[in-house]
Amino acid sequence: MLALITGEGVAAQDSPALTVASPAHFMSLDPAVAGDNFLHLGIGETLVDADTNGRLRPGLATDWSVSDDALRWTFTLRDGVRFHDDTMMDADTVKAALDRAVSMPGVLDKAPIADIRADGNTIVVGLNEPFAALPAMLAHSSTVIFAPSSFDGDTAVGSVGTGPFRMTGYAPPQSLDAKRFDGYWGEKANLESFRYLSASRAETRALMAESGDADLVFTLDPAGFRRLQSVDGVETAAVPIPRTTIIKVNAGHPFLDAPEARQALSLAIDRAGIAAGIMRFPDSGANQLFPPALAGWHVDGMEPLVTDVDRAKSLLAELGWTPGSDGILTREGERFALTLRTYPDRPELPLIGAALQDQWRAIGIDLTVSVSNFSEIPQGDQDGSLDVALYARNFGLIPDPIGIVIQDYGTGGGDWGTMNWDRPDVAEAVTRISRVADLAERQADIDTVARALQEDLPVIPVLWYQQTVAWSGDLRGVVIDPLERTYGLSQISRAD
């Protein structure tokens, strides 16, 4: 089936013009699952795009407007857009793609969408209540517009997009090949082709950059990044991004249901030591959830998270915990033992997990670190088996951060947000934020959300992120997107 859809079969190209490596696996052809991969690589596109500063700009829609009652958004579609199977994009194909996105887990199932209609060359989205963040949500990767031939009923069988590159080979979970799409509606790609390789080990990615086996490499471990900085013919960059390393806490766990218990966990964390010793970026310790890169959401003047081991011990003692003979706390015959789930795709996470294991043991908590597939975290949230989890969350996945905040910190929480924690004042503030676009009008409610998360700590911030990238010195036009929407492959060329 895939060979018929791509028109090229699944055999890999012999000599791609560029090889890209990152830790992200290709686990699916479904845009609801892997839309970010296809957006990164320029295979799929969204109705609304965003620049590297997060400002919305036209994508497959040239403009959009909202009705006076704020209950109807109209998106005008770009003329002359061709899918990679040579069919034309129209309002009916876009409606079908959006209907599917609404029905799948993702950002649109959190939006108050009443209906989606195709009307001439426009898409009209009706709402149950005002929702100013809708255009930003339509820039999210799960809303990538694929041709109808990408699906057999409800099953994704291909990835037929509209981007400057078309997929020509696919060998999940490790590789994908693509060629320039000469029927692209916009500026044509400089490169004729590329190959994407998934390499889960950070050491492997660094060696690929050093040896020339990969031309463009994302997400390096601190040691590999430092080494590559001194390698001739390799360029490197580290860019602050709106991503935070977070500890998700099951606030319904009997050991963790009191805010004081979660505060004790936070007080025991040596963020400065982790930032300097593991990440090698000393200023990256997170003293609140939202990083400085998120203008308006990072609250200046809020009491910062600090390290205070003695205070952590006192809080736990006030909750009835006493040290056992081995130093581990006990209460009513139960040891304070937790399991932390994390994953190796981001090479620093297991190392941070090991540091947390030592730091929490210093206050009497026996922490087991389980390193597995990232899917174990949402699964544990859904079945209730999760104690704590360590992961990185990108608040720039949607140009307007409220799109992620709704998913993670609205009523009921989310797979990558709160678990068994609800505060009506936060839920109400999140709803109000979603209804207005002006930052000044939102600011009081944003402060409410940020301060509540800082006080109750249903998630515990650890670090703010730097995206680390290495590339071959003969490449031109490399652009690092702090929002991580795109790898910018269509702009890259090689020096003559």
Q: Exposed, middle or buried, 207 (CB in 10 Å: 0-12/13-18/19+)?
A: middle
Nearest to 141 by CA among 404, 357, 335: 404
Residue 21 is assigned to a structural domain of this protein = yes
Residues 452 and 487 reside in one and the same domain: no
Residue 285 is assigned to a structural domain of this protein = yes
Written as one string, the DSSP assignment of 91-120 is HHHHHHHHHHHHHSSSSGGGS-EEEEEEET
SS3 label, residue 55: coil
Residue 141 is assigned to a structural domain of this protein = no
Residues 263 and 220 reside in one and the same domain: no
Question: Tens digits of per-residue pLDDT, 37-48?
Answer: 999 999 999 999
Alpha helices in 364-413 (DSSP H): 376-383, 402-409
Residues 213 and 269 reside in one and the same domain: no
Residues 482 and 439 reside in one and the same domain: no
Residues 288 and 332 reside in one and the same domain: yes
Residues 228 and 296 reside in one and the same domain: no
The pLDDT of residue 16: 82
Total of domains in the chain: 2
Question: Tens digits of per-residue pLDDT, 46-77?
Answer: 999 998 888 899 999 999 999 999 999 999 99
CATH of the domain at 24: 3.40.190.10
CATH of the domain at 248: 3.10.105.10
Residues 313 and 446 reside in one and the same domain: yes
Residue 5 is assigned to a structural domain of this protein = no
The pLDDT of residue 14: 56
Q: How far apart are CA 184 and CA 82, in angstroms?
A: 7
Nearest to 241 by CA among 460, 392, 352, 140: 392
Residue 374 is assigned to a structural domain of this protein = yes
Residues 372 and 434 reside in one and the same domain: yes
Q: Is the peptide bond before 23 cis (omega within 30 degrees of 0)?
A: no
User: What secondary structure letter does DSSP report for 496?
Assistant: -
Residues 300 and 202 reside in one and the same domain: no
Query: 3-state DSSP: the chain helix, strand, coil percent, rounded to 5?
Result: 30, 25, 45
Residue 408 is assigned to a structural domain of this protein = yes
Residue span of the structural domain in which 28 resides = 15-44+163-233+473-495
The pLDDT of residue 5: 35
Question: Tens digits of per-residue pLDDT, 239-292?
Answer: 989 999 999 999 999 999 999 999 999 999 999 999 999 998 898 999 999 998
CA angle 350, 355, 358 (to 5 degrees): 130
Residues 282 and 356 reside in one and the same domain: yes
Residue 70 is assigned to a structural domain of this protein = no
Residues 214 and 301 reside in one and the same domain: no
Residues 202 and 339 reside in one and the same domain: no
Residue 429: phi, psi to the nearest 5?
-65, -40
The pLDDT of residue 3: 31
Residue 132 is assigned to a structural domain of this protein = no
Question: Which residue numbers in the chain have pLDDT < 70?
Answer: 1-15
Nearest to 95 by CA among 68, 124, 72: 124
Question: Tens digits of per-residue pLDDT, 162-181?
Answer: 999 999 999 998 999 999 99
Residue 440: Cβ within 10 Å count: 8
Question: Tens digits of per-residue pLDDT, 344-374?
Answer: 888 899 999 999 999 999 999 999 999 999 9
Across-strand partners of 194?
A: 178
